[in-house]
Chain A
Amino acid sequence: DAKTTQPPSMDCAEGRAANLPCNHSTISGNEYVYWYRQIHSQGPQYIIHGLKNNETNEMASLIITEDRKSSTLILPHATLRDTAVYYCIVRAYTGTASKLTFGTGTRLQVTL
Chain B
Amino acid sequence: SQQGEEDPQALSIQEGENATMNCSYKTSINNLQWYRQNSGRGLVHLILIRSNEREKHSGRLRVTLDTSKKSSSLLITASRAADTASYFCATDTGGGNKLTFGTGTQLKVEL
Partners in one complex: no
Binding site for B on A (CB under 8 A): none
